[in-house]
Amino acid sequence: MRVKCYSSNKDNHHKKGKIWICDEWKDDPVAFVNWAKENGYKEGLQLVRKDKEEGYYPENCAFLKIEEANKTHGMRRTRLYNIWTQMLQRCKNQTLDHYDRYGGRGITVCDEWGDFEVFAKWAKENGYKDGLTIDRIDVDGNYEPKNCKWSTNLEQARNKRTSRYITINGEAKTVAKWAEISGLPYKTLQRRLYTGCKEEDLLAPVGTIYEHKFLIEINGVTKTINAWAKEAGLPFSTVKRRYQRGVRGEDLIKKGRLTNNNNNQLSFDFDC
């Protein structure tokens, strides 16, 4: 992995050196080894990136059989393939913020869906199309054919184990209901709440600051995540991932691996 990104032989580099390794793994090889052991590594498996335009970091990596990693099914960059890899990650990757709501409470992916082509065949035969997400009928059940269907974001939101109520102008409704009333996407409202949007501003039109320029304050200075990342010389994804895990203040832009005391995790539900 390091050779592909940082060796002195530029011919070995991914995309002329544009593919990177997250700080946690680059600065501490032991952290990568521990992650690998906790996320299904064994002899004969290959480390692959789900999004080939992105670097090596926990949410973008998985271990697959060599024959699966090298398959030419032509769907590796499709939305369906991404749904499949994220489904596996939710149940196997203990470093994910929301692992506790999936693999952490015993939810698994059935053996037959360990093969992407089998999953893709089921998906196409059972109503998959762009805009729909995979939804478990029994939220305490596993990912398997008899317990899964394709749903809209609103349908899936109503199937959550818990629903958050938001009060706007004295009216308390679930996020899903506000999305239905306003016509805004459910995940847009969910993301706004997650990034600190005030409840009274929740229904602001798409294109406002809450959509594109979420601001973070550090030591009295307010900038976008992207601006803080550039100033600190860190990948945008590293700063964003730290924020998602509950890291605040100067620790957001601190170089090197954060200690467990800094890396307090918050839990959010972001199904594919």
Give the distance, in angstroms, between the CA of residue 92 and the centroid of all CA atoms in the same chain.
13
Residue 42 in any domain: the answer is yes
Q: Which domain does 10 fall in, by range?
A: 1-70
* The residue type at 22: C
Could you tell me if 56 and 21 are in contact, meaning their C-beta atoms sit under 8 angstroms apart? yes
Residue 151 in any domain: the answer is no
What is residue 208's predicted lDDT score, i.e. its pLDDT?
Answer: 52
Q: Within the chain, which residues score under 50 in pLDDT?
A: 15-16, 72-74, 161-162, 209-213, 263-272
What is residue 144's predicted lDDT score, i.e. its pLDDT?
Answer: 94
What is residue 17's predicted lDDT score, i.e. its pLDDT?
Answer: 54
What is residue 40's predicted lDDT score, i.e. its pLDDT?
Answer: 82
Task: Report if pTM > 0.75.
Answer: no
User: How far apart (Å, rounded) are the C-alpha atoms in residues 139 and 259?
Assistant: 33
User: How far apart (Å, rounded) are the C-alpha atoms in residues 118 and 150?
Assistant: 16
Residue 160 in any domain: the answer is no
User: How far apart (Å, rounded) are the C-alpha atoms in residues 105 and 196?
Assistant: 28
What is residue 70's predicted lDDT score, i.e. its pLDDT?
Answer: 53
Residue 30 in any domain: the answer is yes
Give the distance, in angstroms, between the CA of residue 215 and the centroid of all CA atoms in the same chain.
20
Strand partners, 46: 64
Residue 126 in any domain: the answer is no
Closest-CA residue to 270 (of 56, 107, 97, 130):
97
Strand partners, 221: 218
Domain count for the chain: 1
Residue 54 in any domain: the answer is yes
**pLDDT tens digits, 40-87:** 888 888 888 877 767 888 887 888 776 555 554 445 667 888 889 889
Residue 193 in any domain: the answer is no
Residue 15 in any domain: the answer is yes
